Amino acid sequence: MKIHEYQSKQTFAKYGVPIPKGRVAATASEAKEIAKELGGRVVVKSQVLVGGRGKAGGIKLAKSPEEAEELATQILGMEIKGLPVRKVLIDEAANIESEIYLGITNDRAARKPVMMVSAAGGVEIEEVARLTPEKIIKVHIDPIMGLQGYQTRDIAAGIDLDRKYWKEFAKIAQALWKAYVASDATLAEINPLVITKEGHLLAVDGKMLIDDNALFRHPDLAEMRDTDVEDKAETDARKYGLSYITLDGEIGCMVNGAGLAMTTMDIVKLFGGSPANFLDIGGGANAEKVTAAFRIILSDPNVKAVLINIFGGITRGDEVARGILTALDEVKTDVPMVVRLVGTNAEEGRQLLADADMITAETLVDAAKKAVAAAQKGA
């Protein structure tokens, strides 16, 4: 899950990263008030969950509260890379001497977090990574030992940081590491970490990605979810506890179990079809969940057929079938449905579904073939 710049910076600040004074505003007049409170020059920053806001015109400096108001009006009316700007952050402007990149992410190949640092920070960091990767220093962090003092000194020396900043830099690097671990982040990034003309280090921008699977233990972070950037069907699915991912094929899949869902998608592909989604309705799914799942699958206009692949274990096959029929009573559709039902009481379940004019199948191969054929007919 992505969180906004102001949320990332506030999280970093909790662990000791210095950030500019500032607050977020939803209207231009609020922006003006904040600018007045801060006094002096401020920076008006669009809060959208995409990178490159500066280049897109979503970050502007203002010399007065009136100018901040005017710029906030402009920026709040913008769309950046397709996303509406609903909030602006008004920060005290920094006098920037130079810009450093400082980030932590997981290096899957090394099976360790890695801290990445470059003296060439700022808006061109992707170009630096592409053209002169040697300018980015990478240091792996042992997850048990944590970030060590010698490592932050190595980094500081590696980016030719003036010695007078080493202590401040080490403190910020440690704070970022703490924020990363404590938040179950998969990315914690400061770009730029600036050296100010006054001679201090300051985190002017912040970005964090939080591991979705850890959100259950961070209700404060979970609350920060901004669904603007998310696929609507995926947001709906989360509400019902369904694991759902939108794909671009034409066969909707409703399956219980993640492994079985992947197998189903593979078999659909094998017989010339293409899955419209990944969906695991989980174990013990009731009629309410199945109804939600149907509604979500059918909200995708590309879906030409639905393949339901259920392994009835603890939940008996006839119960599953009744759940499906109840759901279909509520979600009326002409899209053909193919059901493969196995396990306890599967025979009774299949009979119930066949009586309701659904296409049934005994094997997954048979079901996949029937679903592909039905989708082609409907296309």
Catalytic residue numbers? 101, 189
Stretch that binds Mn ion, among 39-47, 69-77, 201-209, 260-268 (CB under 5 A): 201-209
**Given candidates 205, 250, 280, 319, which one binds Mn ion under the rule CB under 5 A?**
205
Indicate which of Mn ion, ligand GDP, none lies near residue 24 (CB less than 5 to 8 Å, by partner kind): none
d(CA 39, CA 32): 10
273 phi, psi to nearest 5 deg: -95, -175
In the DSSP assignment, the letter for residue 349 is: H
Q: Does 199 bind ligand GDP (CB under 6 A)?
A: no
What distance in Å separates the CA atoms of residue 155 and residue 145, rounded to the nearest whole number?
A: 17
Nearest residue to ligand GDP by CB is: 54
Q: What is the DSSP string of 263-317?
A: HHHHHHHHTT--BSEEEE--TT--HHHHHHHHHHHHTSTT--EEEEEEEESSS-H
- 47 part of the interface to Mn ion, by CB under 5 A: no
Give the contacts of 287 (CB within 8 A, at least 6 positions apart): 322, 323, 326, 327
- The answer to whether 91 contacts Mn ion (rule: CB under 5 A) is no
**Does 69 help bind Mn ion (rule: CB under 5 A)?**
no
- Contact criterion met (CB below 8 Å) for 12 and 203: yes
Single out the segment in contact with ligand GDP by CB under 6 A; choices: 88-96, 237-245, 249-257, 366-374.
Answer: 88-96
Residue closest to Mn ion (Cβ): 205
Residue 164 to residues 113, 161, 168, 199, 354, Cα–Cα distance (Å): 27, 8, 8, 9, 78
Structure tokens at 194: 């600036």
Q: Is 191 in the site for Mn ion (CB under 5 A)?
A: yes
Which of 4, 9, 53, 60 contacts ligand GDP by CB under 6 A? 53
Contact stretch for ligand GDP (CB under 6 A) within 54-62, 239-247, 318-326, 327-335: 54-62
Question: Cα separation of 370 and 87, whole Å?
Answer: 49
# of chain residues touching ligand GDP (CB under 6 A): 19
Judged by CB under 6 A, does residue 18 bind ligand GDP?
no
Peptide bond into 301 cis (omega under 30): no
174 contacts 182 by C-beta, under 8 angstroms: no
One residue of 192, 249, 275, 349 binding ligand GDP per CB under 6 A: 192
Residue 51 as a binder of ligand GDP (CB under 6 A): the answer is yes
Three-state DSSP state, 42: strand
Binding positions for ligand GDP, 134-153, rule CB under 6 A: none
Please, which of residues 95-134 interact with ligand GDP by CB under 6 A? Answer: 96, 99, 122-123
Q: Which of 1, 24, 59, 116 touches ligand GDP (CB under 6 A)?
A: 59
Q: Which stretch binds ligand GDP (CB under 6 A): 28-36, 53-61, 293-301, 370-378?
A: 53-61
- Does residue 11 interact with Mn ion by CB under 5 A? no
Considering only 28-36, 198-206, 275-283, 358-366, which stretch makes contact with Mn ion by CB under 5 A? 198-206
Q: Which residue has the tokens 């500032």?
A: 22
The DSSP secondary-structure symbol of 203 reads E
Residue whose structure tokens are 């059918």: 298
Packing angle of the helix pair 287-298, 317-330 (nearest 10 deg) = 50
Q: Which residues are at the interface with Mn ion (CB under 5 A)?
A: 191, 205
Q: Which residues are at the interface with ligand GDP (CB under 6 A)?
A: 43, 45, 51-54, 59, 61, 91, 93-94, 96, 99, 122-123, 191-192, 204-205
